Structure 1
Amino acid sequence: MTPQVNALADLSGTVVLAGAGKMGGAMLSGWLAQGLDATRVAVVEPYPSDEIKALLAKGVQLNPALGDIGSVAALVVALKPQMFREAGPQLRPFAGSSTLVVSIMAGITIAALTEVCGGSVVRAMPNTPAAIGRGITVAVADKNVSAAQRGTADALLHSIGLVEWTSDEALMDAVTAVSGSGPAYVFLLAEELARAGVEAGLPPELATKLARETVAGSGELLRRSDLDSATLRQNVSSPGGTTVAALEVLMGEGGMQSLLTRAVAAATKRSRELAK
């Protein structure tokens, strides 16, 4: 069982957030909502958004000098993976040999993070529903991460949704392909369902609303139900009915199963390439 800090307010030291884009910003909002003192957060971001700048009034430090930060409780790296090799070495002064380093960058391995940043590394992959506190993150810890550090990482990641831990880093590329990239697949489903509705004769505004609410409502039903997704699908499908007619297309040769298998394989491959 993963040890947890009782609350983020219990952390001793400053949390340094490197990269405050959409995901980094979502994490920061989650930390503050969970009670982390804004004055104990330092953001390293050369191009801060207006939302990040607004947090300065609450005490968040923006691009402070290392000497102004004090002890670092954790360095959270939320850079774009393509920027890491160039910008990563600038983060090394924030991480001592035993400092907790939490990365949410796709494809960047624990070994690469240790080489560039140092510290005790936790590699994690959240997804964009983190923006509303409904993300899911998978994390893996290096062997030198202590139980207390793992608890700190768990608390930081729990602020944006559910957290699952694995001991096998090799799974992280597939995790990235399924849940990290997964929201885009769902949004594409809503987009294409609306387009197909227009093709069937619906006004664009109505088609868009029907697709959006159908995807959102079905997702919420799936979350709340004790039934698995296959059973929920079958419950919508009356023999000889309209749903079965559509599913024969979606589940036929070259249909959704084949497409998603290929899509996840392509994303997994790209995640591995990012590590090189």
Structure 2
Amino acid sequence: MTSHLLHQTRIAFIGGGNMATALIKGLLGAGLDGKNIRVSEPDSVRAQSLQSLGITVVAGNSNTVSTAQLVVIAVKPGIVPLVLDEISGNLNRDAVVISIAAGVTLNSLMRRLPEKQPAIRAMPNTPALIGAGVTVLCPGPDVSPQHRALAETLLGTVGEVKTILDESALDAVTALSGSGPAYVYLMIEALSDGGVACGLPRDLATQLAVQTVKGSAALVKETGQHPGVLKNQVTSPGGTTIAALQVLETAGLRGILMRAVEAAWRRSQELSRKN
């Protein structure tokens, strides 16, 4: 889907929270005319903030979607059924419905949408708020290649997009990239604490920790090398790095991270079964 076609697309957002706002800003930054974006947001303060972006903000969900070609469901998972019941009679027949509500399955979406309505489930993560996220899409059975390309273009305005066809894998995606930023923040905080324990000022310790994580991730991505290879390049015989790695391995850091992802995966499966 070319950016030209995206620019011609009328997009509706149900919910104007942080993730929806990030997507809206990404669309505007990509050149979409604000006149083509409508948002349903009942909170007056948030609605005023959204209006300042040059888009249309309304209080009712049904009116928001009536002319849209793409509808983004960006509300809390618990109210998704109510929202779908409210808007289903006002959707354009070919409008693509994208849900970014965690744990709400495609079956749950399709049960409340008109028959054959194209539906896509998406799992973004919070770095999308600064255009550095990664979103994983899973299209439903009625999604055409054109629909999928449109969704990928939309979500590509806030970071990278990956598409999977096995919805059950979204629980693992949630555990890794959806919850993953929290794991990284904890590691940054711990590294900063370590620097402070060694006498560094807090601000400097945090800056060094942040840039070290950022630069190391960028090096893995840019070189395409296995993280273990890059780790070994930093590790000199009898040096400081191997002394630190010995502590981390003895404490079981590798296994702890693996078990953390597995715990989040199991919890995501439990939540999906409820929806």
Return the structure number with greater relative CO, CA threshold 8 A, min gap 6: 1
* Among candidates 48, 51, 54, match of residue 53 of structure 1: 48
Distance 2:84 2:256 in 1: 36
Q: Which residue of 2 aligns with 1:90?
A: 86
**Do the aligned partners of 1:11 and 1:73 also contact (CA within 8 Å) in 2?**
no
**Aligned pair 1:33/2:45, yes or no?**
no
Q: How many residues align?
A: 270
Distance 1:26 1:262 in 2: 31
Unaligned ranges ≥5, structure 1: none
**Do the aligned partners of 1:177 and 1:267 also contact (CA within 8 Å) in 2?**
yes
For residues 164-204 of structure 1, give each alpha carbon's deviation from its aligned partner in whole angstroms, at most 9, with x where no partner exists.
11111110000111111111111111001111222233332
Shift of 1:150: 1.1
**Aligned pair 1:99/2:95, yes or no?**
yes
Distance 2:261 2:44 in 1: 32
Distance 1:199 1:238 in 2: 24
Shift of 1:76: 0.6
Q: Which residue of 1 aligns with 2:171?
A: 173
Q: Which residue of 2 aligns with 1:42?
A: 38
Listed as ranges, the matches of 1:21-170 within 5 Å are 21-47=17-43, 50=46, 53-63=48-58, 65=60, 66-67=62-63, 70-118=66-114, 119-170=117-168
Report % sequence identity.
Answer: 39
Query: TM-score, normalised to structure 1's length?
Result: 0.88
**Aligned pair 1:256/2:247, yes or no?**
no
Distance 1:36 1:28 in 2: 9
**Do the aligned partners of 1:8 and 1:34 also contact (CA within 8 Å) in 2?**
no
SS state at 1:266 partner: helix
Amino acid aligned to 2:152: D
**Do the aligned partners of 1:81 and 1:274 also contact (CA within 8 Å) in 2?**
no
Q: CA 1:61 to 1:203, structure 2 compared with 1: closer, same or farther past 3 Å?
A: same
Measured on the aligned residues, the alpha-carbon RMSD in Å equals 2.2
Listed as ranges, the matches of 1:190-209 within 5 Å are 190-209=188-207
SS state at 2:215 partner: helix
Shift of 1:64: 5.2
